[in-house]
Structure 1
């Protein structure tokens, strides 16, 4: 896989990974989704998700270090205890799906994430511990099949009543454990090859310095701008996967 990338494609990967690292640090979740969309255009979605699973662990370790003191550990514990069993099951199911099916699942998930988020914001939903646990079960199933399941989980975590800094720190801890678990499952199947592992490490290392810049940006923007950036990037990624699905069906 690595030797098949041209010099131009390597340049695209390097620049995109650094830029997406900035997005990841500034938004808490959108960077990985955007990088997955870019890699899908280069190596296909079936390979892009294992690569980004590895890459995001490195990126998230740096974010976890940056926002360690901001994390809400009670939320982290509740989400992982409820979501890890379905995450493991979802990751195994993912290894059995075709690229076109994965694209359709990814697209459906992203499209439905928008009205869910807007409903949660407009209704000012307050999340109880029990509701968060139930939402985490569904989040785990999604997390096994897509990159960016935080878009589903985010309204429920924010509904607890936390700041954007606490949100970013909490999600960094949750997603680090999530992606490590996915790597273990993928490694037990034929999905995680040595070449994809190496490419994932490269992408993750390139994203890490961008996280530091993203942290500076996060401290300078308000909550409204933070939400706008996430929604805008989500729409761009939806357009990308509509194109991929259309191309695959032709």
Structure 2
């Protein structure tokens, strides 16, 4: 078990995971952005990304099943081919960081993910071929070494011309394949003890019903308003993580 984790901590994590599952099912991202600020003080910085990597495999599987009819195999194949080696490299690099360094890296990526998404949204429908491959390689490096990069993949898919359920399904399929590689690297490096697997399974199990609830909600909510709320949460969470990491580095 992690340090002094109580039943109430597990209940809190499960509740936030359910909300994150709903958010992920509606927008294509959510768990990787919303979970780090909750998990970091409970399980420690070094365990955050490995735990989310395992739980993401479960939530991405449920998202892919829920939206399977909209999956785009051609674009998914291009991105996966480019992202697989860089994802493994990013995951290995993560295992070499200190706890404080992890906090700063995760927080910085969360902060940068927002302007990146807005920039890519402006080139919607103009990213294809070699551009999609280059974007996939860059995403793989980020995804391998941090949490919360689903927002970047979402933006890449929007820039490639996908929308609606196709974005959610294709995002889930790509993230699932890359997640297997990422988890494999973490497991080999000893970054996934039994306690981490337990927490990850809890998150994945709690997020799964949220995904299927989201399927029923898609088309009934204002996506723009929801994205603005998530952006605000991401910025706040990123600032908190960066502050915690810098404080630890200063000690």
Map of 2:210 onto structure 1:
210
Measure how far apart 1:125 and its partner are.
6.2
Tell me the TM-score normalized by structure 2: 0.91
Map of 1:237 onto structure 2:
237
Map of 1:114 onto structure 2:
114
Measure how far apart 1:229 and its partner are.
4.0
Measure how far apart 1:238 and its partner are.
1.7
In 1, the alpha carbon distance for the partners of 2:125 and 2:61 equals 30
Q: Decide whether aligned partners of structure 1 residues 197 and 90 sit closer, same or farther in structure 2, where only a CA change above 3 A counts.
A: same
1:63–1:172: 8 Å Cα contact kept in structure 2? yes
CA offset digits 1:144-170 (Å, max 9, x no partner) = 111122222332211121212110111
In 2, the alpha carbon distance for the partners of 1:125 and 1:160 equals 5
Q: Decide whether aligned partners of structure 1 residues 161 and 229 sit closer, same or farther in structure 2, where only a CA change above 3 A counts.
A: farther
CA RMSD of aligned residues (A): 1.9
In the comparison of the two structures, how many residue pairs are matched? 250
Give yes or no for the alignment of 1:181 onto 2:181: yes
Tell me the TM-score normalized by structure 1: 0.92
In 2, the alpha carbon distance for the partners of 1:214 and 1:248 equals 38
Give yes or no for the alignment of 1:139 onto 2:139: yes
In 2, the alpha carbon distance for the partners of 1:103 and 1:143 equals 15
Q: Decide whether aligned partners of structure 1 residues 223 and 3 sit closer, same or farther in structure 2, where only a CA change above 3 A counts.
A: closer
SS at match of 1:192: coil
SS at match of 1:96: coil
In 2, the alpha carbon distance for the partners of 1:3 and 1:98 equals 18
SS at match of 2:155: helix
Flag structure 1 segments of 5+ consecutive residues without an equivalent: none
Give runs of aligned pairs for residues 54-93 of structure 1, distance below 5 A.
54-93=54-93
In 2, the alpha carbon distance for the partners of 1:36 and 1:224 equals 23
